[in-house]
Amino acid sequence: MRTHVMSLDFDSSLLEKYDTQGPRYTSYPTAPEFAGDFTVQDYVRHVEHSNDELIPKPLSLYLHIPFCRSLCYYCGCNKIVTQNEAKAERYLEYLFHEIEMQSKLFAADRLVTQIHFGGGTPNYLNTEQFRELLSVIARHFHLSYPEKLEISIEIDPRFSSGPQIVELANLGFNRISIGVQDYEENVQTAINRIQTREQVDEVITAARSAGIKSISVDLVAGLPFQTRHSFADTLKQVVESKVDRIAIYGFAYLPKRIKAQRMIAESSLPKRDTRIAIGKDTLEYLKDAGYVHIGMDHFALPTDSLAVALKEHNLQRNFQGYATHAECDQVGLGVSSISQVNDSYSQNSSTLTEYYAQLDAGELPIKRGISLTEDDLIRAQVIQYIMCQNTVPYHSIESAYGINFLSYFKNELQALKGFEKDGLIEYGNDEFSITPAGRFFLRNIAMVFDYYLNNKPPQTEDNVVRFSRTI
Ligand code: SF4
């Protein structure tokens, strides 16, 4: 069995060599490929096909709460910064309507096993609003038994409290992820997000005492004024809190596209050498602290379900990142949310004006999407193996899709030779595997199989589809 603990026994120059921009592969094809010619009728057709399956998949609901109380300058999310809580009231009325419309499409045997609230700031809503939202969901969808139902939420600790977390746990929430980003004061000032260790620990302590099963912390690397020393200090504080999962996202600085980021001077960002050193330090530190490297920038304690799923080869990747659930169809609810149903992805309108107008017209607020071709499905499966299983078994793809792997992917296998030479992949009789060092370069390896990325006509600097850095 392969070890899942990262070995740092590789040449640091590889970090520089593979430091490029690329997708995070929470879907394939990736969101930039979703197109406006995908219609509500297309979506309904995919739902009908999914209902007709012999054993229909369970459902995972994603609800987007776009409101935030203050603007973080690094943020590239779809959000609305407002103190006017009446806006959230109005939004919820529309969201309830969308929940009802969506629920009517799914057959009675489609059980909901997962509900996730993302944002924005989901805890912009108060407990009463969550109570009502959950009861609307329960009224229209068929929920799994409470012990099988995962309800998770992203928490902004600046606007939460111990009592709020206990109330959420009493409503059935059993997983939280807390946005910490960085504990260093001058970094927090530069990104306009001031929060203390005490605020975070209050949330963690309350979550533990209320029996919340999994506590995760999100950090961001590459923020202004971060140094090796300052990030190591943040990491140390997070590890002291003994959270189950730690995710470290690379900051994508795109001031041309994201207005808020113009508040961050490029000169304040850590240089490439520092970013790379932070990456190496982080891997070493978390390994020594007993965390398992799940893949890319995700780590978990060995007892956490993600680490168990990795060990048992059940790990999945979806729009929320790594997941343990066997495949679900995902229903996105709310402005800009993404659905993955049958062989399709679709995304709701990203402005409230459009979202409300479509619902007022009695339509689902779908704006764009894509129906996957056979080639998309094959490549999506290969990328899923790369991101989650460390191994791409040719025979599994061949028997599922009736292809000859070696000839179908002749060019890609040729392109992988450089990765083999660098010790990041190795070939077996009927598969190629990602080495422990290669787990840090999963996005780069997956990019080799991305047809769209590799076959698009060259774009100008202004219209190029930009992604975050892979390292
Ligand atoms: S980082 Fe989170 S809290 Fe800050 S503006 Fe973005 S969505 Fe809102």
By the 8 A CB rule, do 328 and 113 touch?
yes
Burial class (CB in 10 A: 0-12, 13-18, 19+), 465: middle
What are the φ/ψ torsions at residue 56 (nearest 5 degrees)?
-65, 145
Cα 37 to ligand 1 centre (Å): 31
**Tens digit of pLDDT at every position of the chain (471 positions):** 333 334 455 666 787 788 878 888 989 999 999 999 999 999 999 999 999 999 999 999 999 999 999 999 999 998 999 999 999 999 999 999 999 999 999 999 999 999 999 999 999 999 999 999 999 999 999 999 988 899 999 999 999 999 999 999 999 999 999 999 999 999 999 999 999 999 999 999 999 999 999 999 999 999 999 999 999 999 999 999 999 999 999 898 999 999 999 999 999 999 988 988 898 899 899 999 999 988 878 999 999 999 998 888 888 888 778 888 667 999 999 999 999 999 999 999 999 999 999 999 999 999 999 999 999 999 999 999 999 988 999 999 999 999 999 999 999 999 999 999 999 999 999 999 999 888 888 999 999 999 999 997 655 444 444 566 666
By the 8 A CB rule, do 128 and 158 touch?
no
- The number of the ligand 1 atom at minimal distance from the alpha carbon of 71 is 5
Pocket lining for ligand 1, CB < 6 angstroms? 68, 71-72, 75, 77, 79, 119-121, 156, 179
Q: Is 388 annotated as a binding residue?
A: no
Encode the chain in three state secondary structure: CCCCCCCCCCCCHHHHHCCCECCCCCCCCCHHHCECCCCHHHHHHHHHHHHHCCCCCCEEEEEEECEECCCCCCCCCCCEECCCCHHHHHHHHHHHHHHHHHHCCCCCCCEEEEEEEEECCHHHCCHHHHHHHHHHHHHHCEECCHHHCEEEEEECHHHCCHHHHHHHHHHCCCEEEEEEECCCHHHHHHHCCCCCHHHHHHHHHHHHHCCCCEEEEEEEECCCCCCHHHHHHHHHHHHHCCCCEEEEEECCCCCCCCHHHHHCCHHHCCCHHHHHHHHHHHHHHHHHCCCEEEECCEEECCCCHHHHHHHCCCCEEECCEEECCCCCEEEEECCCCEEEECCEEEEECCCHHHHHHHHHCCCCCEEEEEECCHHHHHHHHHHHHHHHHCEEEHHHHHHHHCCCHHHHCHHHHHHCHHHHHCCCEEECCCEEEECCHHHHHHHHHHHCCCHHHHHCCCCCCCCCCCCCECC
Domains and CATH numbers, the chain: 1-28+374-471 (1.10.10.920), 29-333 (3.80.30.20)
* Token digits of residue 373: 């071709």
Q: Is 28 annotated as a binding residue?
A: no
Q: Is 72 annotated as a binding residue?
A: yes
Q: Is 120 annotated as a binding residue?
A: yes
Ligand 1, from 72, 82, 182: best to mutate by most atoms within 8 Å of Cβ?
A: 72
- The number of the ligand 1 atom at minimal distance from the alpha carbon of 119 is 7
What are the φ/ψ torsions at residue 275 (nearest 5 degrees)?
-60, -45
Give the residue whose CA is nearest to atom 2 of ligand 1: 120
Q: Is 26 annotated as a binding residue?
A: no
Burial class (CB in 10 A: 0-12, 13-18, 19+), 48: middle
Ligand 1, from 70, 121, 155, 177: best to mutate by most atoms within 8 Å of Cβ?
A: 121
Shortest CA distance to 172 belongs to which of 116, 122, 232? Answer: 116
DSSP bridge partners of 231: none
User: How far is Cα of residue 154 from the mean position of the Cα atoms in its chain?
Assistant: 12
DSSP bridge partners of 64: 118
Shortest CA distance to 207 belongs to which of 249, 239, 244? Answer: 244
Give the sign of the dihedral formed by CA 440, CA 443, CA 445, CA 446: positive
Give the residue whose CA is nearest to atom 7 of ligand 1: 120
- The number of the ligand 1 atom at minimal distance from the alpha carbon of 70 is 5
CB neighbours of residue 202 within 10 Å:
18
- The number of the ligand 1 atom at minimal distance from the alpha carbon of 75 is 6
Q: Is 121 annotated as a binding residue?
A: yes
* Token digits of residue 368: 């764009």
What are the φ/ψ torsions at residue 102 (nearest 5 degrees)?
-65, -40
